[in-house]
């Protein structure tokens, strides 16, 4: 009986880590890797992330039982269009892009009915960039979003769930439209804030001296999970409306803070930072324990700055005992 095959397209941090995790799990499948940069594919083989590297995208995917597309989001579209006619009936195709709605539409329009698509998005902590930072432990304990297409076969959805388990992650099923709205706030807005902060500081006439004083706060606030600018460009292009809504909310929040700083209102300033600190500590506890329901949605008192600004007082609830 022929050995099953898994093809990983894109061998950066995510694709390389998936390969390493699958190899450590000792899956009984051949893992074939492809990257638009042949040198990177060879490096992935040398690291043990793939059994063999194939320079040709079509031959890497032809006959595969599972195809994992770990590329920037716009490249997902091109990849789907290129491989669709050559996929084995019953093949599972999945991706790792942080935008799901548009990807699901591309898959629906491109893939044959004999192939199942389950969108994926691993929520991993910052761990460097590129293949050099790839690790079999990258997904350990992480949430891994799964968005099955309407016509995905039940056995394909189960296979995607099993894949997540082999990586050491926890499957989290949700609607692709909901996914994109949520990710715009917690994944996409942060890199826009990083780009903005770097832009206004490094282009300032004071940067020559300012850069010497930039410490941990500046470094953490300007971190990018990927060194590939096309990753961020593509995300903004395909999730624009959701991102713009969060930009508007951020601008409103900064404007409100500006007003109370100008007014030298010490009470409101303290309430703003107290609310932010409480909210972050609650989030970190939930992230550490994985018990989000027990942590609850912690918000500052309803009279607090952020509650007044966004009308969030009604959402406040205490953690379960």
Q: Distance (Å, rounded) from C-alpha 32 to C-alpha 51? A: 6
The tens digit of pLDDT for each residue in 148-197 reads 999 999 999 999 999 999 999 999 999 999 999 999 999 999 999 999 99
Asked if the model's pLDDT at residue 198 lies above 50, the reply is yes
Whether residue 65 is contained in a domain is answered as yes
Question: What average pLDDT does the segment 280-296 reach?
Answer: 78
End-to-end CA distance of the chain: 55
Query: Which bin fits 297, alpha (ψ -120 to 50), beta or left (φ > 0)?
Result: beta
Domain region containing 105: 4-174
If pLDDT is split at 50, 70 and 90, which confidence band does 242 have?
very high
Question: What average pLDDT does the segment 221-230 reach?
Answer: 86
If pLDDT is split at 50, 70 and 90, which confidence band does 318 have?
very low
Q: Distance (Å, rounded) from C-alpha 9 to C-alpha 75? A: 10
Give the pLDDT confidence score for residue 43 in this predicted structure.
Answer: 93
Both 25 and 142 in a single domain? yes
If pLDDT is split at 50, 70 and 90, which confidence band does 292 have?
confident
Residue that the structure tokens 């051949």 belong to: 30
Both 170 and 238 in a single domain? no
Asked if the model's pLDDT at residue 76 lies above 80, the reply is yes
Whether residue 259 is contained in a domain is answered as yes
Both 185 and 55 in a single domain? no
* Contact between residue 141 and residue 168 where contact means Cβ atoms under 8 Å apart: yes
Q: pTM of the predicted model, to two decimals? A: 0.87
Average pLDDT, the chain: 89
* Contact between residue 278 and residue 217 where contact means Cβ atoms under 8 Å apart: no
Both 251 and 188 in a single domain? yes
Asked if the model's pLDDT at residue 310 lies above 50, the reply is yes
Whether residue 135 is contained in a domain is answered as yes
The total of structural domains in the chain comes to 2
* Contact between residue 189 and residue 242 where contact means Cβ atoms under 8 Å apart: no
Q: What is the CATH number of the domain that holds 299?
A: 1.10.3660.10
Q: Which residues, other chains included, contact 212 with Cβ-Cβ below 8 Å and sequence gap of 6+?
A: none
Both 184 and 169 in a single domain? no
* HSE value, Cβ hemisphere, 13 Å, CA-based, for 220: 4
Both 63 and 112 in a single domain? yes
- For the chain, give the percent of residues with pLDDT over 90: 79
Asked if the model's pLDDT at residue 18 lies above 50, the reply is yes
Both 67 and 112 in a single domain? yes
The tens digit of pLDDT for each residue in 108-147 reads 999 999 999 999 999 987 667 788 889 999 999 999 999 9
Q: What is the CATH number of the domain that holds 27?
A: 3.40.50.720
Q: In what order do the strands lie in the sheet with 4-9?
A: 52-53, 29-34, 4-9, 66-69, 92-95, 116-123, 143-148, 170-173
């Amino acid at each position: 009986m022929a050995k099953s095959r898994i093809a990983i397209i894109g061998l950066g941090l995510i694709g390389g880590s998936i390969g390493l995790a699958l190899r450590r799990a000792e899956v009984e499948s051949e893992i074939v890797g492809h990257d638009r940069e042949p040198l990177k594919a060879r490096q992935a083989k040398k690291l043990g992330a793939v059994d063999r590297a194939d320079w040709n995208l079509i031959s890497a995917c032809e006959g595969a039982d599972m195809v994992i597309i770990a590329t920037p989001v716009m490249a997902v579209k091109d990849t789907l269009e290129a491989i669709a006619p050559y996929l084995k009936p019953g093949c599972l195709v999945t991706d790792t892009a942080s935008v799901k709605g548009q990807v699901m539409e591309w898959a629906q329009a491109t893939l044959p009915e004999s192939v199942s698509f389950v969108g994926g998005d691993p929520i991993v902590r910052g761990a460097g960039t590129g293949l050099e930072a790839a690790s079999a432990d990258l997904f350990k304990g992480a949430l891994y979003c799964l968005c099955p297409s309407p016509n995905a076969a039940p056995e394909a959805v189960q296979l995607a769930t099993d894949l997540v388990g082999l990586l050491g992650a926890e499957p989290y099923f949700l609607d692709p439209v909901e996914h994109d709205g949520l990710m715009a706030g917690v994944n996409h807005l942060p890199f826009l804030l990083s780009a903005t902060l770097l832009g206004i500081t490094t282009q300032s006439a004071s940067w020559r001296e300012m850069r010497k004083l930039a410490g941990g706060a500046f470094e953490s606030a300007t971190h990018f999970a990927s060194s590939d600018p096309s990753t961020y460009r593509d995300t903004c292009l395909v999730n624009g409306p959701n991102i713009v809504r969060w930009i508007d909310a951020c601008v409103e929040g900064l404007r409100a803070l500006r007003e109370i700083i100008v007014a030298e209102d010490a009470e409101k300033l303290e309430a703003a930072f107290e609310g932010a600190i409480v909210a972050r500590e609650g989030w970190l506890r939930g992230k550490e324990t994985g018990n989000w329901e027990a942590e609850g949605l912690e918000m500052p008192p309803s009279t607090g700055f952020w509650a007044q600004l966004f009308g969030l007082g009604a959402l406040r609830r205490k953690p379960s005992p």
